[in-house]
């Protein structure tokens, strides 16, 4: 662990009076048994694949951690491409991972739709590439400014707002989508 993150962990451990070695704690975290379950609408991904759509998963984070989460959720079967930004040495909202997943899927930005829960990290870069953008606002994890002014600030970057993947089936049948 390097840099600012290491300093933050060291500071937190000191404040909490914990004298454990940070490397050991990180290893415990990275190797613990994950008990994750996908959202109950995950089956929509199968429906989308049966419709002939190419699906990609673009996720931020340390590659080994993200791979463990993906495996624990048993969702790899739904995606044609899985790209973890850490494998590229960058993070969202940098444009490179968005360009790379499009390249691996063999589609152009204006032929793609991106679904994300964070306007800044997930949707603004996708919109810059010409993609349709879909904000998913699940009630337990909203990654946008909850103030009334957020719509004005992000209106140019969000084409659709959904609360469940089931709603994507309606979105993709929208005549405005070519």
Whether residue 25 sits in one domain with residue 49: no
Rounded Cα distance between 132 and 121, Å, is 15
pLDDT in tens, 80-102: 999 999 999 999 999 999 999 99
Whether residue 4 sits in one domain with residue 68: no
Confidence at residue 5, expressed as pLDDT on a 0 to 100 scale: 61
pLDDT in tens, 17-30: 888 877 887 788 77
Residue 60, domain member (yes or no): yes
| Residue 33 binned pLDDT confidence (cut-offs 50, 70, 90) | confident
**3-class DSSP state for residue 164?**
coil
> Is the pLDDT assigned to residue 149 strictly greater than 70?
no
Residue 79, domain member (yes or no): yes
Residue 178, domain member (yes or no): no
Tally Cβ neighbours within 10 Å of residue 5. 11
Residue 39, domain member (yes or no): no
Structural domains of the chain, count: 2
CATH of the domain at 114: 3.40.50.1000
Between residues 7 and 133, the one the model is more confident about: 133
Between residues 50 and 143, the one the model is more confident about: 50
Contact 107, 54 (CB under 8 A): yes
Whether residue 87 sits in one domain with residue 1: no
Whether residue 119 sits in one domain with residue 59: yes
Whether residue 57 sits in one domain with residue 18: no
Owning domain of residue 23: 1-32
Residue 38, domain member (yes or no): no
Whether residue 57 sits in one domain with residue 7: no
Residue 84, domain member (yes or no): yes
């Amino acid at each position: 662990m390097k840099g600012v993150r290491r300093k933050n962990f060291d500071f937190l451990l000191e404040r909490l009076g914990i004298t454990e070695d940070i490397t050991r704690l990180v290893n415990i975290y990275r190797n613990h048994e994950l008990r994750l379950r996908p959202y109950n609408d995950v089956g929509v991904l199968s429906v989308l694949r049966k419709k002939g759509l190419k699906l990609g998963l673009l996720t931020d984070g340390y590659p080994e951690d993200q791979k463990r989460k993906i495996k624990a959720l048993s969702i790899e079967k739904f995606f044609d491409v899985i790209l973890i930004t850490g494998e590229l040495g960058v993070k969202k909202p940098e444009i490179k991972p968005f360009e790379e997943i499009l390249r691996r899927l063999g589609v152009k930005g204006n032929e793609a739709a991106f679904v994300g829960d964070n306007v800044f990290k997930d949707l603004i870069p996708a919109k810059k590439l010409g993609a349709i953008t879909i904000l998913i606002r699940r009630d337990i994890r909203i990654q946008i400014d909850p103030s009334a002014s957020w719509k004005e600030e992000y209106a140019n970057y969000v084409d659709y707002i959904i609360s469940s993947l089931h709603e994507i089936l309606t979105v993709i049948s929208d005549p405005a989508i070519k």
